[in-house]
Structure 1
Amino acid sequence: MRNMRTMAVVWMVASVISLAEAQEKASPHYVPADKHLSAEWMTSLTESGTQKIYRDAELEMLGMPCGGIAAGQLYLRGDGTLAWWWIANNAYNTGYGAENTSCFNTALGEYSVCYKPARPAGYIDQGFAIAVKSGEGPAVVKTLSRDDFDNIGFIGEYPIAKVLYETKDKPALPVTIEAAVFSPFIPLNAKDSAIPATIFVYTVKNTSQQPVEISLAGWLQNPVCLDLLGK
């Protein structure tokens, strides 16, 4: 028994000595002060870089949350229209689930809780339109969506999304149109950040050499009892 105690004491002393030696050899910093980072890499951290603009097929399944705090779920689609309205206790869950789990009855029909990549559904009729009058001719009216603009660009930099309404094959307008869409999100300003709203800011610029008259209009279907349609 005495020999065992002696061996235990010797082992403890040896362990303490080994730990002390390791601490002396160890660097006081786990991360070295000189990380051998190039000046070019350090400079790149503060450069703005290039904005990613989504177009064409990239817009199909794109959606960015833009609902106000405690105002329900709302998504902005790639063409600047709104979808996934969750504002009337219509909990259309998009989480994971099996095909045979429960479904919701919606204004668009039966909706499965299983997540499926698809264009966000916009069962409430909503949108904006622009009327452009140049010269003596009649005004040209176009809806601000993929229906009338075939080269829309989407820049998603949360909490602000930008939508560029451009054309590729369709006749161009004598103006450029850009929308900034967001819900209030102001650091250190909780009161204004809690405004239950989604804000659209349209910027229209005349690119022609003559005066242009511009009108913007919007519409929103009344969603009251919409889920009861056809019942």
Structure 2
Amino acid sequence: MGASGCQNDQAVSSAELRALGPQRVFSGRNLAQVAFPLGGIGTGSVSLAGTGALVDWEIFNRPNIGAVMPYSFFTLWAQAEGKPPVTKVVQSPTLPPFSGQGEVNFRGVGFGVSRENGAGLPHFQSATFHGEVPLAWIDFADAQMPVEARLEAYNPFIPLNDRDSGLPVASFHLHLRNPGDETVRVSLAANLYNAVGYPGEGPFSGSTLGLATNTFVDRGGIRGLYMTSDRYPADDPKFGSLALSTPWEDVDHQTCWFRGGWYDALHKFWDEFSVTGTLQERTYETPSPDGQGDVGSIVLK
């Protein structure tokens, strides 16, 4: 048998090789196939889904595709002058399948999408995603929302600076534009679950969690929540910390969401923020109960 080669007589210039081609834009059901990793070199990552959800929380020293950290999402509140406020989770609607992502024996057996990612709350009507590593952008559209919103997310990728490129951070900017004539008041709530002690797989509950502590810090031009746990000594592999922070100056905070059963915590958060556009401070004298973390929020106004 003879061998044949593949020839292409069409020359490609150096400029063509280096030119940027058209970038893919994802929308509709195609958003379900997007997961854009955010994190420093060697630090693990959390992924930005095409809808705007934060998924695949792999920051606990092992792979964990599909992990969704409870109640960790952004919520936008906007009120045009003389009109009632509009509040939306900064995501487009949850996409099929709707069988849910339950844990262990309950995975995908018809219990529906999980409340822990805000799936039952109002979302933006649609979104389009495009990414160019290390940056990603999601443009949201909603006829009810009086402002236009674009979420920008990026990694700490700094050419020739491996040290700072290895910072364990994910950065987000929310760009807002008022297309109308009336004044619009806006505020953004960023929520994060304190999962210090999580073993890196399975549900975000159980014997390794609990005794979580959240503290509000305002230092060096940065303000936000510092999260850790009293359960483990500093030399324990499960010990660690999380931070939810911003350089934005006008910030309210709620160090801990309400500690209750069933849907109480999410219900109270939504009832307060959707009406007022802010959150009153709440702290507890003791760390979180055994087997549970605490959710905390900062509100940028």
Report TM bin, short chain: 0.5 to 0.7
Name whichever structure is richer in helix by fraction.
Answer: 1
Aligned residue in 2 for 1:67: 39
Which of the residues 192, 195, 200 maps onto 2:172?
Answer: 200
Question: Given the superposition, is the C-alpha separation of residues 176 and 152 from structure 1 closer, same or farther in structure 2, using an over 3 Å criterion?
Answer: same
Which of the residues 119, 124, 142 maps onto 1:149?
Answer: 124
Aligned residue in 1 for 2:11: 37
Inter-partner Cα distance in structure 2 for 1:86 and 1:195 = 15
Inter-partner Cα distance in structure 2 for 1:201 and 1:188 = 24
Aligned residue in 1 for 2:269: none
Question: Given the superposition, is the C-alpha separation of residues 53 and 219 from structure 1 closer, same or farther in structure 2, using an over 3 Å criterion?
Answer: same
> Aligned runs of 1:122-133 on 2, under 5 Å?
122-133=68-79
Q: Please, what is the CA RMSD of the aligned residues?
A: 2.6
Q: Is the contact between residue 124 and residue 223 of structure 1 (CA under 8 Å) also seen in structure 2?
A: no
Inter-partner Cα distance in structure 2 for 1:70 and 1:48 = 28
- Give aligned pairs, total: 166
Measured after TM superposition, the shift of residue 42 of structure 1 is 7.1
Aligned residue in 1 for 2:206: 228
Question: What's the CA shift string for 1:173-228, capped at 9, x where partnerless?
Answer: 22211111111101122232222100001110111112211111110112135341
Question: SS state of the match for residue 215, structure 1?
Answer: strand
Inter-partner Cα distance in structure 2 for 1:61 and 1:183 = 20
Question: What's the CA shift string for 1:103-158, capped at 9, x where partnerless?
Answer: xxxxxxxxxxxxxxxxx441432100111110112221111012312321110211
Inter-partner Cα distance in structure 1 for 2:19 and 2:77 = 39
TM-score w.r.t. the length of structure 1 is 0.63
Question: Given the superposition, is the C-alpha separation of residues 36 and 228 from structure 1 closer, same or farther in structure 2, using an over 3 Å criterion?
Answer: closer
Inter-partner Cα distance in structure 2 for 1:124 and 1:143 = 14
Aligned residue in 2 for 1:85: 57
Aligned residue in 1 for 2:82: 136
Inter-partner Cα distance in structure 2 for 1:89 and 1:191 = 19
Q: Is the contact between residue 79 and residue 146 of structure 2 (CA under 8 Å) also seen in structure 1?
A: no
Question: What's the CA shift string for 1:24-48, capped at 9, x where partnerless?
Answer: xxxxxxxxxxx6638xx77755655
Question: SS state of the match for residue 126, structure 2?
Answer: coil
Inter-partner Cα distance in structure 1 for 2:206 and 2:61 = 14
Q: Which amino acid aligns with 2:206?
A: L
Q: Is the contact between residue 85 and residue 124 of structure 1 (CA under 8 Å) also seen in structure 2?
A: no
Q: Is the contact between residue 75 and residue 90 of structure 2 (CA under 8 Å) also seen in structure 1?
A: yes
Question: What's the CA shift string for 1:86-113, capped at 9, x where partnerless?
Answer: 2224543x6xxxxxxxxxxxxxxxxxxx
Inter-partner Cα distance in structure 1 for 2:183 and 2:40 = 37
Which consecutive unaligned segments of at least 5 residues does structure 2 have? 1-8, 94-122, 199-203, 208-289, 292-301
Q: Is the contact between residue 74 and residue 89 of structure 2 (CA under 8 Å) also seen in structure 1?
A: yes
Question: Given the superposition, is the C-alpha separation of residues 71 and 42 from structure 1 closer, same or farther in structure 2, using an over 3 Å criterion?
Answer: closer
TM-score w.r.t. the length of structure 2 is 0.49
Question: SS state of the match for residue 204, structure 1?
Answer: strand
> Aligned runs of 1:159-198 on 2, under 5 Å?
159-167=134-142, 171-198=143-170
Percent identity between the aligned chains? Answer: 28
Question: Given the superposition, is the C-alpha separation of residues 184 and 54 from structure 1 closer, same or farther in structure 2, using an over 3 Å criterion?
Answer: same
